[in-house]
Amino acid sequence: MTKALQLYLEGLSYREIERIIGVSHVTVSNWVKEYKISKPNHTDYHPTYKIYNHLELIEFLKNKEVLKGAGMIITELGDKFMLIKWERFKD
């Protein structure tokens, strides 16, 4: 449940969360209502996410250009890792 709520707060939709963690979008919606979670206003961006294995994640993070001006969260999903990324600074 915690991971689903974290993803919701990062801007992912109920259906995106369903696809990522395998919990029904209706269940996620019910959790959001039950705990009175309010999604912050992120109208100027939408986070992107990608699933990596350990070696792919290491290779991705070696490239400093992908880290510039971006916010990221990395979370473990079984034997894989999910990276959520959004642009931190906009002109």
Bridge-based pairing of strands 70-77 and 80-87 is: antiparallel
Task: Return the percent helix, strand and coil in the chain, to nearest 5.
Answer: 40, 25, 35
Name the band, by pLDDT with cuts 50, 70 and 90, for residue 90. low
> Which residues, 6 or more positions from 26, have their beta carbon under 8 angstroms from its beta carbon?
14
Reply yes or no on whether the pLDDT at 68 is more than 50.
yes
The pLDDT tens digits of the residues spanning 9-65 come to 877 889 989 988 899 999 999 999 999 998 777 656 667 889 999 999 999 999 988
Reply yes or no on whether the pLDDT at 91 is more than 70.
no
| Residue 65 in tokens | 């250009």
81: which strand partners? 52, 76
pTM > 0.95: no
